[in-house]
Amino acid sequence: MLFHIFVLLSVLVAIGSLRVAASSESCEFYARKLGAPLDGWKPVSDTDGPSCIRESVDLACPGEQYYDPATRIPECCDPEGTLVWMNKDAKLGYCCAAMHEWTGDLSTGEGGCCPIGFRMVDGRCQSLPSVENEEVAGKSCGCHSKSEPSPDDDERVTVPTVVADLTIKYGRCYVLSFPDGREIGSNRENNVYTPSGLFQDRPFRVCRSTNDCSLGGNVHYKGQFYLEDQIGMHSDRGGKMGWVTTHEKGSKMKFTLESSEATEYEGVMKCAELGCPIRLSAVPQELHFNEVLCETDPSRYLSVQMGDSDL
């Protein structure tokens, strides 16, 4: 099990000007942007560049201390647990309970803790034999061995669309689901959204940009928008909201705290009626957008009313 250190350290990843010249003043600037306490920050350096830490209380860790790669929150790994390092110099890693191990891609953080003998696949632990059988089945019998692409390889090739505004509005929030009814949710083990993920009922706000989530009209045909996760990661005790990104090949939707990594989506529909699913660029399946109440006031995002330093 994990022992959480509630008041040991507050951690802030330094970006922008802080990477050029780290100072207590620039640490305070980024702390203010995140709504963190402003006192006690100091710049430090690791293999990923300058960052800021805030020391408050020195509590002993009975096991080994590490930082969660996604939140940079300090944690303590139980002596009976297993700790896998993503970056040992920076003490970034993943801790699993006894008789569990972390499986996945450490370079991207896509994976999670599973009982020994299981492997994390799309947010779920699967036994190694079943995973290996699926891999063998995909390689046997010469399937898709011809050079011509199969229609099944990319569903977007043959999907007709209509030139019409999308049935979603800027500044509104929606729960996302697949046509078969499975909701998109997050998981305890990583930052990947999956169908029927553990943490569902997540409102995503449709935004014009990462600085403007104000209320407005419908998103136009092939209109651009961003998706803001209103809940944040379960491991973040502060519940900081983040963004959806789909940058990597494989079209997996992921959570990120960095607005610079947020994906600008483009949407189309194959019908114009209310309730029609929307096809997003970089996402292989259509999604239903079911409107729900938002968690925060969209007016705080109006970029014309405040500068970045005031956020």
Contact 209, 257 (CB under 8 A): no
In a domain, 120, yes or no: no
In a domain, 32, yes or no: yes
CA pair distance 3, 61, nearest whole angstrom: 8
Q: What values do phi and psi take at 136, rounded to 5?
A: -65, -40
User: 310 and 239, same structural domain?
Assistant: yes
User: 164 and 85, same structural domain?
Assistant: no
Which pairs count as long-range contacts for 97-102, CB under 8 Å and 24+ apart, including other chains? 97/1, 97/2, 98/1
User: 160 and 90, same structural domain?
Assistant: no
In a domain, 50, yes or no: yes
CATH classification at residue 200: 2.80.10
User: 20 and 166, same structural domain?
Assistant: no
pLDDT for residue 225: 95
- What does pLDDT average to in each consecutive run of 10 residues of the chain (311 residues)? 37 34 61 63 68 58 81 80 87 86 78 83 72 49 37 43 84 89 80 79 92 89 91 76 76 85 88 80 83 70 40 37
pLDDT for residue 129: 67
In a domain, 80, yes or no: yes
Which amino acid, one-letter code, is at 102? W
What is the distance, to the nearest Å, from the Cα of residue 25 to the centroid of all Cα atoms in its chain? 29
User: How many structural domains comprise the chain?
Assistant: 2
Contacts of 11 (CB under 8 A, 6+ apart): 51, 52, 53, 54, 67, 71, 72, 73, 74
- What Cα–Cα distance (Å) separates residue 256 from each residue in 78, 192, 276, 287? 27, 10, 28, 20
- Identify the domain containing residue 301 by its residue range: 151-311
CA pair distance 212, 205, nearest whole angstrom: 11
pLDDT for residue 19: 33
pLDDT for residue 46: 62
In a domain, 61, yes or no: yes
Which pTM was predicted? 0.49
Contact 223, 237 (CB under 8 A): no
CA pair distance 202, 183, nearest whole angstrom: 9
pLDDT for residue 2: 41
